[in-house]
Structure 1
Amino acid sequence: MGSCQMNCCANKTGEIASKETKKNEVDLEDPDPNDYDDKENSVSSVQQQQQQVSETPRQNNKEREKFQVDNESMSMKKNLEPQSVKEVSITYLNCTERQKFDPIQLDKGAIYEGEWLLGKRDGNGKQQWPDGSCYEGQWKDDKSCGWGKLIHADGDVYEGEWQNDKANGKGVYVHINGARYEGDWVDDRQDGIGIEVWPDGAKYEGEYKTGKKNGKGILLFADGSRYEGTFVDNEIDGYGTYQWPDQRIYTGQWRRNKMHGHGQVTWPDGRKYIGEYLEDKKHGRGSFEWGDGRKYEGIWVNGKQQGIGVYYMSNGEKKYGEWKDGIKKRWLEAEEIEQYLQQNAQNQKQQ
């Protein structure tokens, strides 16, 4: 008889956000409207304000990292080996109608008690293995088939539909720690539509394929974060929307549980970033807008502005500047701006 697996993928510890997470929240506070004025008094103040723009909203990354780890925390249990009858008496072989007989020991030590038909377990019956595992339910042609309940030696329980000694159809798997999966099964693996919940309150509802989250789904984290989108082999991957408890929202591309590709982040106070990401950091071309109308457009490297960019003041004034590691080094002169614009036009034609 086959055994069942269930992958736990949410935070089991329910930890409070780390100090690093809290620091990132502060880094994302709205910068002073005079960040980029020519009246900047010191490099340190500029650096501090620039950092507030460049930081990626990484709160609860640890939650997503735990999701990745916990997905692999439960491996498939060793299949319960099929058992055959040591010796079948003439009474068992000759019964052409289902009959219940006394318990009988099978070749590898398991004991079966239930109905028989033509020398095979068929009908309702209960089988216990030497390691303490126990299956009780329906049988057909010497295999578990129909509705049944399997209690593993370690306390995990599967109850549902069976075919050919494996979980097939609808069923519920409850882990000894309280984690629970209810949904579709194919050959002992989650396959189809299912719902998975964990003791800390985390929950996944969506598609599965060959025992892993694959396709569209909704994942609710224990801390209140929410992701809706696509999954690949138990990981957030493809396109989806992630919402933090503080109502920040990222919509865009993902790869292996990280923001990766083109996406957009919005803040409740009106701030917005639209552009490219590389492993959870702004990387490539992107624009950052403040709620008061200010805006930066340019290149980002590892989460910080880099190179020549355009800065729009809240009064509509447009200025060109040069940034390095998230810090504005200088404003461009008129001649330099003209050269920059010409180079940009040539690059666009070549594309």
Structure 2
Amino acid sequence: MANKIIPVIMSGGSGTRLWPLSIPTAPKQFHALATPNTMIQETALRLVGNDYLAPVAICGTGHCNLVNEQLAAINKTPRLVILEPFGRNTAAVAAMAALSGREIDPEALVLLVPADHVITKPDAFHAAVVTASETARTRIVTFGIKAAHPETGFGYIERGEPLSDGIFAIKKFWEKPNLETAQRYVQGGQHDWNAGIFLFSPQVMLEELSLYAPEVLAACKDAYDKAGRDGAIIHLDEEAFGQVPSISIDYAVMENTSRSAVVPCDIGWADVGGFAELWRLGEKDAHANHVTGEAILIDAENCLVHNSGPVVSIIGLSDIMVISTPSGILVAPIARAQDVKLAAEAAKQRKGR
């Protein structure tokens, strides 16, 4: 690959559907869930080779030490760590990625990746990046995950006309569908899951932001220009950053621009959005139980145990999850995994009182 690439790792997720494992002070990207390394470490480790420059991390102010410590532990010290005083959605992150990319090397491409995804086929991911690299000189490229089944929890990207081998224009972005619509998408073969991974030239992203989200770009540039700097750490100006509209990059740019493209790929992707996905990805015993930590299981099957405290015992139960951490204990059917965020919100309110 002739193009140099700056990996920019988005580490702003809260992971409320993984409470009490994922908490505000240490959300899911800082935990080892599906692999021995933490999710942010796995993200950095798959972006290696002569083509990739040192990564940039964008995170909340309170996670600065975690980011630096965990990346340093795998010898992936970031080139920059950009600290957001508060969250302002992914359009702001894309703007900061483009601004920092232009500062580091305006001729390089930016690969904007979430810190909390699993990719089990890193070679296939790298191949997709190689495929996209020349197109990313003039377009914002996103990576569509070939739909393995009718999934109602993801947005979809509908392919348009072919631009070159393996690269398509984007016809339309679709919100999370109902099951019937998702089945139609999969059967039609023209819709891919939207993974929120982007490859672009800093200049192209800045030009499209200036056209379709000028308020986002102006406020982000102001916050970046006024930022305090402490070595590699950039403290975005809080007052200026407070003027940034909170909007996703999909709504702000991707649904409007004519300079977009999608590369459909099969990279073993999962977003680990909840405990059901964690159970699906994890190694299991002969009774389909996935256990992390000390546990005793008697006549139990299809269970998920994630324990960082005293031994957990399960007797005669199936299809449940037990999550035991110093922050709390969760017991629920795996089928109710999407409702964990309700418990997270209740715990937050209780703590506030």
State the TM-score, normalized to the length of structure 2: 0.21
- Report the structure, 1 or 2, having the larger strand content: 1
Q: Which has the higher contact order (CA 8 A, sep 6+)?
A: 2
